[in-house]
Chains A and B, each alone.
Chain A
């Protein structure tokens, strides 16, 4: 049994064909670019992108999310913080060169302008995200309290919607 080739390989011939095809295509692309003097730099950026994502960005946002979980009093509050943080972080990640005014020389040569407005715009957008999320959160909390008052008890003991008791409570 162990002598049969696909058992030693660990998968069927289709798997081997797909994997070898990919390696051949990628190898050919690397071969074509192999005379470029910048190849080591390109390879460094290729590997660096993976390392930075997997070993820096991912742990960073995981730790940040756990910290957020510890400081926020409720899951609802946590999510109302998560969303603006994610929105703001996404924009920072994508538009960092403009926000941090990096590459200003080439930027000026290409456009005839400076990157001056971007940091302020990003901060305003971020403030907008937090304000909007905070507003929604406040409305939800007030609604929950109002419901709790109407049903005469704390929010969590309110009857489940859609049941007879809920209709009775609001009637």
Chain B
């Protein structure tokens, strides 16, 4: 019955007239995504691990089985999170043109009529909704989050994390069902020959059982080489305009349209701020001469003034801060080693350390550090950066800086550190 009542236009195969649509072109785009989307997914899951889910401080906190096996996030190399999260964000952005092209290439299938002929087709189409909805949802939430536009009104972390698993469900089943078809289609034409075929010589692919090839194609206005070139060009353009936020230095200026592509000046504290003191509600009176650092967890609390801290044996290290938004900045930090502070507190073998900020509200006014993060020789309670005192926006009087730790866990405006035994 449904077949007899075919609705107008997009549901009629004759509407789709591009001579380029066909299983080969779709499969070329598919194989690119097959290789790259798992990288984006795994680096995203690694970011969850880097937030320290064993302390309940990864968001969302309770994810059941939906996580990588537990492990302590490493401190070496110091650029680890910078690499994984930079890859996650920049590769994710670079794949947007590929995803859009892939969807363009299969869009006639959305309007097949009747919508399904068997329970198998109905179920498979539902899993495609998970796949397409998942990938678009992840793109939209990710793109908004890196630009600090929280228009969606729900927790980015929670939605992006569970959205990833819904996407993954659709992705894995789609690959399982379509892999043979993709390999067959890829073998049907030579990429090398296709890249030498001009627009004038471009002909449609032979008709396919899936109905991707138009039954009534228009003459080609673009070769397949041209179409793939446009997609690759879009990918390169996005890469060129985003990679600078992760690499930093002179390359930072190339991230022309991103928040973290901007120059802040040449002074020692003129580097990217994540959450200003004003936004965190830090008042001048809290960080004046009366400020003290409280070290807890030992036989009794130890209190240190900033002058007292500065008089302790110091250490300096050049370390990156890398944020979940994929940007990073490397600076030269100086202060006191966290492990020296643990000794001072009277905790010789800490299993973790709980750092609290003067900041009253907010999700990141405290963080728990793993043993390897407390004990690393370059893990600091920093007092100075690039030879000057920390500015208020960078966490004056003192902030944590730990190798390979996600940016927001390098707590600023530190009030207390509690060293915990196993």
Q: Which residues of A contact B (CB under 8 A)?
A: 8-11, 14-16, 18-26, 28-30, 32-33, 36, 38, 41-42, 45-47, 49-50, 53-54, 58, 69, 75, 78-79, 82-83, 86-87, 90-91, 93-95, 97-99, 102-103, 106-113, 115, 117-118, 121-122, 125
Contact = CB atoms under 8 A, between A and B. Distances in A.
Chain B interface bracket (under 10, 10 to 19, 20 to 34, 35 or more): 35 or more
Interface in B260-284: 260, 262, 272-276, 278-279
Contacts of B120: 9-11, 15-16, 19
Nearest to A61: B104
B305 interface: no
Contacts of A112: 273, 276, 278, 393
Interface string B25-41: 00000000000000000
Among A14, A20, A28, residue most surrounded by chain B Cβ atoms (within 10 Å): A28
A38 B149 contact: no
B158 A36 contact: yes
Contact of B136 (A19, A49, A118): A49
A16 B123 CA distance: 9
B173 to A, nearest CB: 4
Contacts of B158: 33, 36, 38, 42
B150 A79 contact: no
Interface stretch (B60-68, B343-351, B414-422): B60-68
A102 B278 CA distance: 20
Nearest to B277: A112
Given A58-B103, A113-B262, A15 B119 contact: no
B60 A103 contact: no
A102 to B, nearest CB: 5
Interface of B: 60, 62-66, 93, 96-97, 103-104, 107, 110, 117-121, 123-124, 126-127, 129-130, 132-134, 136-137, 139-141, 143-144, 147-155, 158-159, 162-163, 165-166, 168-170, 172-173, 176-177, 199, 221-222, 226, 230, 233-234, 237-238, 241, 256-260, 262, 272-276, 278-279, 393
Given A9-B119, A50-B129, A87-B233, A94 B96 contact: yes
A26 B163 CA distance: 9
Given A26-B166, A38-B153, A53-B103, A111 B273 contact: yes
A87 B104 CA distance: 16
Nearest to A47: B133
A45 B417 CA distance: 40
Contacts of A79: 221-222, 226
Among A20, A54, A112, A115, residue most surrounded by chain B Cβ atoms (within 10 Å): A112
A25 B167 CA distance: 10
Among B172, B257, B258, residue most surrounded by chain A Cβ atoms (within 10 Å): B257
Given A41-B154, A110-B259, A97 B141 contact: no
Contacts of B147: 95, 97-98, 103, 107
Interface of A is mostly: helix
Given A30-B166, A54-B110, A10 B103 contact: no
A107 B162 contact: no
Given A10-B121, A15-B120, A110-B148, A125 B256 contact: yes
A98 B133 contact: no
Contact of B173 (A10, A11, A19): A19
B230 A86 contact: yes
A106 B274 CA distance: 11
A105 to B, nearest CB: 9
B165 A25 contact: yes
Contact of B151 (A25, A36, A102, A108): A102
Contact of A18 (B136, B176, B273): B176
A19 B123 contact: yes
A32 B177 contact: no
Contacts of B119: 8-10
Nearest to A83: B230
Contacts of A10: 117-121
Among A20, A32, A75, residue most surrounded by chain B Cβ atoms (within 10 Å): A32
A58 B107 contact: yes
A41 B124 contact: no
A18 B124 CA distance: 9
12 contacts: A14-B176, A15-B177, A18-B176, A20-B123, A22-B172, A25-B168, A29-B166, A36-B154, A46-B137, A47-B133, A106-B148, A111-B274
